[in-house]
Amino acid sequence: MRLAVVLSMRMWGIDLYEKDVTPMKRLIVSVILLMLIGTFLLAYKGKSTEEHTGFTTHRVISHAMGAVDGLAYTNAREAFVENYKKGSRVFEVDLMFTSDGQLVARHEWTESFTEQMQQEHAVATEQGGKPWSYHQFKNTPIHGSYTPVDWKDVLDLLETYPDAYIVTDTKEQDPAQIKQLFAQLTRQAQEKNPELLSRIVPQIYNEEMLRTLRSIYPYPSIIYTLYATEDKDDQIIRFVQQNDITAVTLPENRVSGALVESLRQAGAVCYVNTINELKDAAEYEQMGVRGFYTDILTEKELTERSWLYALRP
Protein backbone atom coordinates (compact mmCIF):
# COMPACT_ATOMS: atom_id res chain seq x y z
CA MET A 1 0.00 0.00 0.00
CA ARG A 2 2.87 2.38 0.84
CA LEU A 3 4.34 1.80 -2.61
CA ALA A 4 0.97 2.49 -4.22
CA VAL A 5 0.71 5.78 -2.32
CA VAL A 6 4.20 6.91 -3.33
CA LEU A 7 3.69 6.01 -6.98
CA SER A 8 0.31 7.68 -7.07
CA MET A 9 1.63 10.88 -5.54
CA ARG A 10 4.50 11.02 -7.99
CA MET A 11 2.00 10.45 -10.79
CA TRP A 12 0.47 13.76 -9.70
CA GLY A 13 3.85 15.52 -9.43
CA ILE A 14 4.17 15.27 -5.63
CA ASP A 15 7.18 13.65 -3.96
CA LEU A 16 6.60 13.02 -0.26
CA TYR A 17 10.26 12.22 0.24
CA GLU A 18 11.71 15.56 -0.77
CA LYS A 19 13.89 17.05 1.97
CA ASP A 20 11.64 20.06 2.59
CA VAL A 21 8.55 17.95 3.32
CA THR A 22 7.94 17.71 7.08
CA PRO A 23 6.79 14.42 8.67
CA MET A 24 3.45 15.97 9.62
CA LYS A 25 2.84 17.24 6.08
CA ARG A 26 3.81 13.84 4.72
CA LEU A 27 1.33 12.14 7.07
CA ILE A 28 -1.52 14.52 6.25
CA VAL A 29 -1.03 14.24 2.50
CA SER A 30 -0.76 10.44 2.72
CA VAL A 31 -4.00 10.19 4.68
CA ILE A 32 -5.81 12.45 2.21
CA LEU A 33 -4.53 10.43 -0.71
CA LEU A 34 -5.59 7.14 0.89
CA MET A 35 -9.06 8.57 1.49
CA LEU A 36 -9.30 9.68 -2.14
CA ILE A 37 -8.16 6.30 -3.43
CA GLY A 38 -10.56 4.51 -1.08
CA THR A 39 -13.46 6.68 -2.21
CA PHE A 40 -12.61 6.06 -5.84
CA LEU A 41 -12.33 2.30 -5.38
CA LEU A 42 -15.65 2.14 -3.54
CA ALA A 43 -17.33 4.08 -6.34
CA TYR A 44 -15.66 1.92 -8.95
CA LYS A 45 -16.66 -1.29 -7.21
CA GLY A 46 -20.20 -0.02 -6.75
CA LYS A 47 -20.51 0.82 -10.43
CA SER A 48 -19.14 -2.56 -11.52
CA THR A 49 -21.57 -4.57 -9.38
CA GLU A 50 -24.70 -2.47 -9.90
CA GLU A 51 -27.55 -4.94 -10.33
CA HIS A 52 -26.15 -6.94 -13.19
CA THR A 53 -27.51 -10.39 -14.02
CA GLY A 54 -26.92 -13.03 -16.67
CA PHE A 55 -24.27 -12.23 -19.24
CA THR A 56 -24.08 -8.59 -18.09
CA THR A 57 -22.28 -9.67 -14.91
CA HIS A 58 -19.27 -9.90 -17.23
CA ARG A 59 -17.51 -6.96 -18.86
CA VAL A 60 -15.62 -8.86 -21.55
CA ILE A 61 -17.29 -10.24 -24.68
CA SER A 62 -14.68 -12.21 -26.61
CA HIS A 63 -14.94 -10.99 -30.20
CA ALA A 64 -15.21 -13.91 -32.69
CA MET A 65 -14.35 -16.21 -29.74
CA GLY A 66 -11.36 -13.96 -28.94
CA ALA A 67 -7.84 -14.11 -30.30
CA VAL A 68 -5.95 -17.40 -30.16
CA ASP A 69 -2.16 -17.23 -30.17
CA GLY A 70 -2.57 -13.59 -31.18
CA LEU A 71 -4.80 -14.38 -34.17
CA ALA A 72 -8.22 -12.70 -34.31
CA TYR A 73 -11.48 -13.51 -36.18
CA THR A 74 -10.97 -17.28 -36.18
CA ASN A 75 -14.19 -18.31 -34.37
CA ALA A 76 -12.23 -21.49 -33.69
CA ARG A 77 -12.75 -24.02 -30.91
CA GLU A 78 -9.23 -23.37 -29.62
CA ALA A 79 -10.01 -19.65 -29.37
CA PHE A 80 -12.98 -20.40 -27.11
CA VAL A 81 -10.95 -22.71 -24.88
CA GLU A 82 -7.95 -20.35 -24.62
CA ASN A 83 -10.08 -17.34 -23.70
CA TYR A 84 -12.24 -19.33 -21.30
CA LYS A 85 -9.06 -20.27 -19.45
CA LYS A 86 -8.17 -16.56 -19.31
CA GLY A 87 -11.50 -15.80 -17.63
CA SER A 88 -13.87 -14.96 -20.48
CA ARG A 89 -17.40 -16.25 -20.09
CA VAL A 90 -19.21 -14.40 -22.89
CA PHE A 91 -18.27 -15.21 -26.48
CA GLU A 92 -19.44 -13.51 -29.64
CA VAL A 93 -19.75 -15.91 -32.58
CA ASP A 94 -20.09 -14.94 -36.25
CA LEU A 95 -22.70 -17.11 -37.97
CA MET A 96 -23.25 -17.78 -41.67
CA PHE A 97 -24.78 -20.43 -43.91
CA THR A 98 -22.69 -22.78 -46.01
CA SER A 99 -23.67 -23.33 -49.63
CA ASP A 100 -25.67 -26.39 -48.54
CA GLY A 101 -27.56 -24.63 -45.76
CA GLN A 102 -25.60 -25.54 -42.64
CA LEU A 103 -25.01 -22.94 -39.93
CA VAL A 104 -21.32 -22.40 -39.17
CA ALA A 105 -19.07 -19.97 -37.29
CA ARG A 106 -17.53 -17.83 -40.01
CA HIS A 107 -16.95 -14.09 -40.31
CA GLU A 108 -17.25 -13.94 -44.11
CA TRP A 109 -16.65 -15.91 -47.31
CA THR A 110 -14.65 -13.30 -49.21
CA GLU A 111 -11.39 -14.20 -50.89
CA SER A 112 -9.48 -11.68 -48.77
CA PHE A 113 -10.79 -13.21 -45.54
CA THR A 114 -9.97 -16.71 -46.75
CA GLU A 115 -6.41 -15.53 -47.35
CA GLN A 116 -6.34 -13.89 -43.92
CA MET A 117 -7.25 -17.26 -42.38
CA GLN A 118 -4.57 -18.94 -44.55
CA GLN A 119 -7.14 -21.19 -46.24
CA GLU A 120 -6.78 -20.11 -49.87
CA HIS A 121 -5.32 -23.51 -50.81
CA ALA A 122 -8.74 -25.08 -50.13
CA VAL A 123 -10.64 -22.87 -52.59
CA ALA A 124 -10.71 -23.29 -56.35
CA THR A 125 -10.08 -20.09 -58.29
CA GLU A 126 -13.51 -20.20 -59.92
CA GLN A 127 -15.23 -20.40 -56.53
CA GLY A 128 -14.14 -16.86 -55.71
CA GLY A 129 -15.86 -15.44 -52.64
CA LYS A 130 -18.90 -17.72 -52.77
CA PRO A 131 -19.98 -19.71 -49.68
CA TRP A 132 -18.19 -23.00 -49.09
CA SER A 133 -19.85 -26.36 -48.72
CA TYR A 134 -20.21 -27.73 -45.20
CA HIS A 135 -17.67 -30.48 -45.89
CA GLN A 136 -15.20 -27.95 -47.25
CA PHE A 137 -15.62 -25.72 -44.20
CA LYS A 138 -15.28 -28.47 -41.60
CA ASN A 139 -12.26 -30.03 -43.25
CA THR A 140 -10.15 -26.90 -43.74
CA PRO A 141 -8.20 -25.93 -40.60
CA ILE A 142 -7.87 -22.23 -39.84
CA HIS A 143 -4.27 -20.98 -40.07
CA GLY A 144 -3.37 -24.59 -40.73
CA SER A 145 -4.14 -25.85 -37.24
CA TYR A 146 -7.30 -24.43 -35.62
CA THR A 147 -10.65 -26.20 -35.62
CA PRO A 148 -13.62 -24.66 -37.49
CA VAL A 149 -16.92 -25.07 -35.63
CA ASP A 150 -20.53 -25.29 -36.73
CA TRP A 151 -23.52 -24.29 -34.61
CA LYS A 152 -23.87 -27.77 -33.12
CA ASP A 153 -20.25 -27.56 -31.99
CA VAL A 154 -21.04 -24.23 -30.32
CA LEU A 155 -23.94 -25.87 -28.48
CA ASP A 156 -21.57 -28.62 -27.35
CA LEU A 157 -19.31 -25.94 -25.87
CA LEU A 158 -22.25 -24.37 -24.05
CA GLU A 159 -23.12 -27.73 -22.53
CA THR A 160 -19.51 -28.47 -21.57
CA TYR A 161 -19.01 -25.01 -20.04
CA PRO A 162 -22.23 -24.33 -18.09
CA ASP A 163 -21.28 -20.77 -17.09
CA ALA A 164 -20.55 -19.61 -20.65
CA TYR A 165 -22.78 -17.42 -22.84
CA ILE A 166 -22.90 -17.08 -26.62
CA VAL A 167 -23.67 -13.77 -28.34
CA THR A 168 -24.73 -14.25 -31.95
CA ASP A 169 -23.42 -12.04 -34.75
CA THR A 170 -25.51 -13.13 -37.70
CA LYS A 171 -23.79 -12.04 -40.89
CA GLU A 172 -26.73 -12.83 -43.19
CA GLN A 173 -28.54 -9.64 -44.25
CA ASP A 174 -31.58 -10.87 -46.17
CA PRO A 175 -34.69 -10.96 -43.91
CA ALA A 176 -35.68 -14.42 -45.17
CA GLN A 177 -32.21 -15.77 -44.42
CA ILE A 178 -32.23 -14.15 -40.98
CA LYS A 179 -35.51 -15.91 -40.20
CA GLN A 180 -34.14 -19.21 -41.49
CA LEU A 181 -30.94 -18.76 -39.49
CA PHE A 182 -32.67 -18.12 -36.16
CA ALA A 183 -35.19 -20.88 -36.79
CA GLN A 184 -32.37 -23.37 -37.35
CA LEU A 185 -30.31 -22.00 -34.47
CA THR A 186 -33.24 -22.22 -32.06
CA ARG A 187 -34.46 -25.64 -33.22
CA GLN A 188 -31.03 -27.22 -32.82
CA ALA A 189 -30.65 -25.73 -29.33
CA GLN A 190 -34.08 -27.05 -28.30
CA GLU A 191 -33.25 -30.49 -29.65
CA LYS A 192 -29.98 -30.63 -27.75
CA ASN A 193 -31.04 -29.06 -24.46
CA PRO A 194 -33.72 -26.35 -24.12
CA GLU A 195 -31.94 -24.91 -21.09
CA LEU A 196 -29.13 -23.73 -23.37
CA LEU A 197 -31.46 -21.10 -24.83
CA SER A 198 -31.13 -19.04 -21.64
CA ARG A 199 -27.41 -18.61 -22.38
CA ILE A 200 -27.79 -17.65 -26.03
CA VAL A 201 -27.93 -13.88 -26.51
CA PRO A 202 -29.07 -12.79 -29.99
CA GLN A 203 -27.78 -9.54 -31.43
CA ILE A 204 -30.32 -7.60 -33.46
CA TYR A 205 -29.70 -4.75 -35.91
CA ASN A 206 -33.18 -3.28 -36.43
CA GLU A 207 -36.84 -3.47 -35.39
CA GLU A 208 -37.78 -5.93 -38.12
CA MET A 209 -35.12 -8.34 -36.91
CA LEU A 210 -36.50 -8.13 -33.36
CA ARG A 211 -40.01 -9.00 -34.58
CA THR A 212 -38.63 -11.94 -36.55
CA LEU A 213 -36.65 -13.18 -33.57
CA ARG A 214 -39.55 -12.98 -31.13
CA SER A 215 -41.84 -14.80 -33.54
CA ILE A 216 -39.45 -17.76 -33.25
CA TYR A 217 -38.57 -17.79 -29.54
CA PRO A 218 -38.82 -15.38 -26.55
CA TYR A 219 -35.11 -15.07 -25.83
CA PRO A 220 -34.67 -13.59 -22.32
CA SER A 221 -31.67 -11.41 -23.24
CA ILE A 222 -31.18 -9.37 -26.40
CA ILE A 223 -28.42 -7.03 -27.55
CA TYR A 224 -29.19 -4.18 -29.92
CA THR A 225 -26.02 -3.35 -31.86
CA LEU A 226 -25.82 0.00 -33.60
CA TYR A 227 -23.17 -0.39 -36.28
CA ALA A 228 -25.80 -0.98 -38.99
CA THR A 229 -28.31 1.71 -38.01
CA GLU A 230 -28.57 5.41 -38.77
CA ASP A 231 -31.26 6.01 -36.13
CA LYS A 232 -30.90 9.09 -33.95
CA ASP A 233 -30.16 8.77 -30.23
CA ASP A 234 -33.76 9.51 -29.21
CA GLN A 235 -35.05 6.80 -31.57
CA ILE A 236 -32.63 4.28 -30.10
CA ILE A 237 -33.57 5.17 -26.53
CA ARG A 238 -37.29 4.87 -27.30
CA PHE A 239 -36.77 1.50 -29.02
CA VAL A 240 -34.83 0.17 -26.01
CA GLN A 241 -37.52 1.36 -23.58
CA GLN A 242 -40.39 -0.11 -25.55
CA ASN A 243 -38.82 -3.49 -26.27
CA ASP A 244 -37.06 -4.55 -23.05
CA ILE A 245 -33.59 -4.61 -24.60
CA THR A 246 -30.91 -5.95 -22.25
CA ALA A 247 -27.84 -4.26 -23.71
CA VAL A 248 -26.79 -1.91 -26.49
CA THR A 249 -23.51 -2.28 -28.36
CA LEU A 250 -22.03 1.00 -29.53
CA PRO A 251 -19.33 1.59 -32.12
CA GLU A 252 -16.77 4.06 -30.83
CA ASN A 253 -18.17 6.92 -32.91
CA ARG A 254 -21.57 6.60 -31.16
CA VAL A 255 -20.31 6.66 -27.58
CA SER A 256 -21.20 9.63 -25.39
CA GLY A 257 -21.79 9.94 -21.68
CA ALA A 258 -25.27 11.34 -22.32
CA LEU A 259 -26.36 8.44 -24.53
CA VAL A 260 -24.91 5.82 -22.18
CA GLU A 261 -26.74 7.36 -19.21
CA SER A 262 -30.01 7.66 -21.14
CA LEU A 263 -29.79 4.01 -22.15
CA ARG A 264 -29.06 3.03 -18.55
CA GLN A 265 -32.20 4.86 -17.45
CA ALA A 266 -34.08 3.07 -20.24
CA GLY A 267 -32.96 -0.25 -18.74
CA ALA A 268 -30.00 -1.26 -20.91
CA VAL A 269 -26.28 -1.51 -20.19
CA CYS A 270 -23.78 -0.50 -22.86
CA TYR A 271 -20.88 -2.34 -24.47
CA VAL A 272 -18.42 -0.87 -26.97
CA ASN A 273 -16.78 -2.72 -29.87
CA THR A 274 -14.01 -3.53 -30.57
CA ILE A 275 -11.60 -2.37 -27.81
CA ASN A 276 -8.12 -3.82 -27.32
CA GLU A 277 -6.41 -1.12 -25.22
CA LEU A 278 -6.87 -0.76 -21.46
CA LYS A 279 -6.55 3.01 -21.60
CA ASP A 280 -9.49 3.17 -24.02
CA ALA A 281 -11.52 0.84 -21.81
CA ALA A 282 -10.85 3.03 -18.77
CA GLU A 283 -12.01 6.16 -20.59
CA TYR A 284 -15.26 4.53 -21.69
CA GLU A 285 -15.87 3.09 -18.23
CA GLN A 286 -15.77 6.63 -16.87
CA MET A 287 -18.66 7.41 -19.24
CA GLY A 288 -20.64 4.55 -17.69
CA VAL A 289 -19.96 1.86 -20.29
CA ARG A 290 -20.38 -1.61 -18.83
CA GLY A 291 -18.01 -3.65 -20.98
CA PHE A 292 -16.29 -4.33 -24.26
CA TYR A 293 -16.09 -6.63 -27.23
CA THR A 294 -12.39 -7.42 -27.42
CA ASP A 295 -9.89 -9.72 -29.07
CA ILE A 296 -7.37 -9.72 -26.22
CA LEU A 297 -8.47 -7.94 -23.02
CA THR A 298 -9.41 -10.07 -20.01
CA GLU A 299 -11.75 -9.64 -17.07
CA LYS A 300 -8.75 -9.72 -14.73
CA GLU A 301 -7.00 -6.89 -16.57
CA LEU A 302 -10.10 -4.72 -16.48
CA THR A 303 -10.56 -5.36 -12.77
CA GLU A 304 -6.95 -4.87 -11.71
CA ARG A 305 -5.62 -2.21 -14.02
CA SER A 306 -8.19 -0.04 -15.77
CA TRP A 307 -8.93 2.07 -12.68
CA LEU A 308 -5.28 3.16 -12.55
CA TYR A 309 -5.71 4.96 -15.86
CA ALA A 310 -8.60 6.93 -14.43
CA LEU A 311 -6.32 8.24 -11.64
CA ARG A 312 -3.92 9.79 -14.13
CA PRO A 313 -4.05 13.60 -14.35
pLDDT in tens, the chain (313 residues): 444 444 444 444 555 455 565 766 667 756 666 665 555 554 444 444 467 889 999 999 999 999 999 999 999 999 999 999 999 999 999 999 999 999 999 999 999 999 999 999 988 888 889 999 999 999 999 999 999 999 999 999 999 999 999 999 998 878 899 999 999 999 999 999 999 999 999 999 999 999 999 999 999 999 999 998 989 999 999 999 999 999 999 999 999 999 999 999 999 999 999 999 999 999 999 999 999 999 999 999 998 865 565 555 5
Residue 200 domain flag: yes
Q: Which residues neighbour 3 within 8 Å (Cβ) at sequence distance 6 or greater? A: none
Residue 174: per-residue pLDDT: 86
Predicted TM-score of the model (pTM): 0.84
> Are 236 and 287 within one domain?
yes
Residue 77 domain flag: yes
> Are 110 and 191 within one domain?
yes
Residue 46 domain flag: no
Residue 49: per-residue pLDDT: 45
> Are 95 and 8 within one domain?
no
> Are 291 and 186 within one domain?
yes
Residue 4: per-residue pLDDT: 44
Number of domains in the chain: 2
Q: Could you report the per-residue pLDDT of 239-266, keeping only the tens digit for each?
A: 999 999 999 999 999 999 999 999 999 9
Residue 285 domain flag: yes
Q: Could you report the per-residue pLDDT of 73-127, keeping only the tens digit for each?
A: 999 999 999 999 999 999 999 999 999 999 999 999 999 999 999 999 988 888 8
Range of the domain at 220: 52-310
> Are 34 and 98 within one domain?
no
> Are 29 and 168 within one domain?
no
Indicate which CATH number applies to the domain containing 104: 3.20.20.190
Residue 3: per-residue pLDDT: 40
Residue 7: per-residue pLDDT: 44
Residue 47 domain flag: no
Residue 51: per-residue pLDDT: 73
> Are 27 and 85 within one domain?
no
Residue 164 domain flag: yes
> Are 148 and 189 within one domain?
yes
> Are 6 and 120 within one domain?
no
Closest CA to 310 of 282, 272, 271: 282
> Are 30 and 121 within one domain?
no
Residue 35: per-residue pLDDT: 65
> Are 234 and 94 within one domain?
yes
> Are 35 and 67 within one domain?
no
